Amino acid sequence: MKKSILFVISFIICWSTTVFAQSEKEHFWQTHRKGLFINHMLLPSNQTATLNILASAKVDFFYLVPTLVPETRGVDFLTRGKTGALNEEDMTQLRAFLDGADTRGVKVILGFCSQPWDTNETLWSRKEAIRFWQEIAKRLANQAACIGYDIVSLPVDISSTYELNDYYSEVVRIIRAVDPSTTIVLESFHGDSNQLWHLQPVKSDPNVLYAVAFSVPVVTKAAGYEIDTQRLVLRTLNIAQWASHNGVNPRQVWVYGFPCIVPPSVEGYNYLGLIEGFKLYGWHHASLLPPSQKSAPQKPQGNGKKYNI
């Protein structure tokens, strides 16, 4: 009898923890979130120090692309060259990292190298990539710190637009069969913001973020570089018009990485102002650098046209 009672109590605790984690994940993106983009974070190197640094940052989440420690570079984290299959040692390290993140209140979106359409030279087949995400979702569904899967980081090859949208739909279906609550991130093709118009939303799933890798346009002058303000405004408007045209909730839009190509010599770079502009639209954002203290611009007003930027 005592064993039966203990079993029931253990089951209730486990069930409650799972339900709470799922509920927290599903509601996380319903309010504006700011984050930091950390590309190619080394695992398993000094996780405690890394987590303490992340926990001290005044942001809501981190976008991480884990890679292996330097002595094993050239082989992808989690697969070790075996396309689609998970390396158990790496998975143990990743889960330990996410457990540590959870105890510190750190939330993470995960992206991985070698996905189809990404910029890595060693590309997987579609079948291998789908199997990879299915296994990831099975293992991390109840990891409270993991609040997003970025299916393809910086996709390229605009010639395969239909195939990418079809792939996204299939991956969403496969993940949802094993993980009903973790947000799925779908990125537009990397390049100018008009390529966003090739991305077809998965309207059957409201728990999807649509990500845009945003780069601040600059022009070369005799004295150095200047921000191309007109193109900057038009890029922002293009995102807003795509979301409106496709019926995408502003809380499903995530803009990231925007300061990465701005040369250090640019004067008056209005970083915080750019963030405030995104916030006015209701979009989430993740930058590579901490914001500087600059004044905020007004929300740009559009005329309904799709701009060629």
Q: How far apart are CA 117 and CA 165, in angstroms?
A: 11
**pLDDT for the residue 44:** 57
Q: Judging by beta carbons within 10 Å of its beta carbon (0-12, 13-18, 19+), is residue 187 exposed, middle or buried? A: buried
Q: Which two tokens stand for residue 247?
A: 């019926």
* pLDDT (0 to 100) of residue 85: 73
* pLDDT for res 175: 97
Q: What is the pLDDT of residue 182?
A: 97
pLDDT given at position 79: 76
pLDDT in tens, 102-121: 999 999 999 887 666 665 55
Give pLDDT < 70 ranges for the chain.
Answer: 1-22, 39-46, 68-75, 81-84, 114-123, 157-162, 191-193, 222-224, 258-272, 289-309
pLDDT tens-digit profile of 52-65?
888 888 889 999 88
pLDDT at 291: 43
Q: What is the pLDDT of residue 60?
A: 93
* Type of residue found at 221: K
**Angle, alpha carbons 16-22-23 (nearest 5°):** 85
In the chain, the domains with their CATH numbers are 32-187 (3.20.20.80)
Q: What is the pLDDT of residue 127?
A: 85
Cis peptide before 44 (omega within 30 of 0): yes
| pTM for the full predicted model | 0.81
State the residue for tokens 């079948």: 127
